[in-house]
Amino acid sequence: MYLKLGRLYLGLEKKTQGVKALKKAIAIMEVAHGKDHHYVTEVKQEVEELK
């Protein structure tokens, strides 16, 4: 849900809140999928591009 929430915030041009939600999503996905999973790396890249 944090992943969807983060993308919604970014769509609404609320970058700070979007990045915050995406970081929470990354933390959850690292536990659920593992740190090397491609979903995790994709979201990490997305956050880095936003900085």
> Exposed/middle/buried for 18, CB within 10 Å: 0-12, 13-18, 19+?
buried
Query: pLDDT (tens digit, 9 = 90+) per residue, 2-43?
Result: 999 999 999 999 999 999 999 999 999 999 999 999 999 999
Residue 1: band (very low, low, confident or very high) from pLDDT cuts 50, 70, 90:
very high
Q: Please give the DSSP secondary-structure letter assigned to residue 12.
A: T
d(Cα 43, Cα 51) in Å, to the nearest integer? 13
Under a CB-based contact definition with an 8 Å cutoff, are residues 22 and 48 in contact?
no
The reported pTM is 0.90
